[in-house]
Amino acid sequence: MLKQETFKPENYYILVVDDISINLKLLKVVLEPIGYRLMFAKGGYQAIERVKASKPDLILLDLMMPEMDGLEVCKLLKSDPEYAEIPIIFITASNEEKHIVNAFELGAVDYINKPFKTAELFARVRNHLLLKHTIEKLKSTQIDLEKALAEVQKLANTDALTGVSNRRSLFDFGHQEFDRASRYGKALSILLMDLDNFKKINDNYGHQIGDKALCALVKIIKNTIRNVDFLGRYGGEEFMAILPGIYGEEAFILAERVRKKISSNIIETDKGNLPLTISIGVSTYSTKDKNLEDIILRADQAVYEAKQQGRNKCCSIYSNFK
């Protein structure tokens, strides 16, 4: 719940609009001692200028005025998103039903007849200012909550160390793309990438350097794959890139590009330079695949082959993709 705050009239600006000077003076005598900050306009055109210059918190608007009446002023302000949220209370001697109906249809929040009762005026002005303040606080709170929710969702879907998507987010995207591939015959490939000798890196250089190596790896991969590709941490030192729209041969070329860029990267440590290499398995969607896991299984087998061939290799299993 919102914390209830003490109502302070001095925090609010009220624009009083009336073409008759004595009416302006009367409202000044009534409202100023309460603490409200007032500004005045003697007609519709001047009222529009005052609103644009100072954007008051509330407008007390006379209905019957020459040149531009209160209804026209209300219509113009409510049609502009910049000023549409300013509450307008009509104060008028008119008792005609059509005037009252028109005022509310145009967006006025209240209607007070002249001669007004001071206590009634105080109550209505205060209530509508409080309502405006509460609505603004609620909107602000909603924005803060939406930002907080977006941040929580981002944290829930992100690997804390490397900043790429985590396994859950990776599989959510992968299942979505598998459904598109199987339903519409779209191409889909996967790169499964395993940093070589990661255990030795941790043992010989320490876990801090191991973390640095993973982050460097991710940066290179992100800068090499396409914008439409989805990169995530599969687990430990393994990362997966899901590549929509390309078959295995194109995916293999991309994998080779990633491998070469990583192998040319060196991490400086207090124990000397640390070269990085990676083994990559490439696989592509086949119409025989029942689910995403079938493609991942082939990619995993291809990674194993790359390791068996001495690491720093790209291997592929995609010959039956059509």
End-to-end alpha carbon distance in the chain: 59
The answer to whether residues 129 and 58 touch, using CB atoms and an 8 Å cutoff, is yes
CB 45 within 8 A of CB 67: yes
Closest to 238 (Cα-Cα) out of 209, 183, 181, 199: 199
Cα gap 299→238, rounded to integer Å:
12
20: left (phi over 0), alpha (psi -120 to 50) or beta: beta
Catalytic residues: 237
Tell me how far apart the alpha carbons of residues 274 and 288 are, in angstroms, rounded to a whole number.
42
Q: Do 316 and 281 meet the contact criterion of CB atoms below 8 Å apart?
A: yes
Q: Are 277 and 270 in contact (CB under 8 A)?
A: no
CB of 243 closer than 8 Å to CB of 255: no
DSSP state of 116: P
Residue 221: Cβ-neighbour burial (10 angstroms; 0-12, 13-18, 19+): buried
Cβ–Cβ < 8 Å for 19, 43: yes
Tell me if 37 sits within 8 A of 10, measured CB to CB.
Answer: yes
Structure tokens at 53: 């210059």
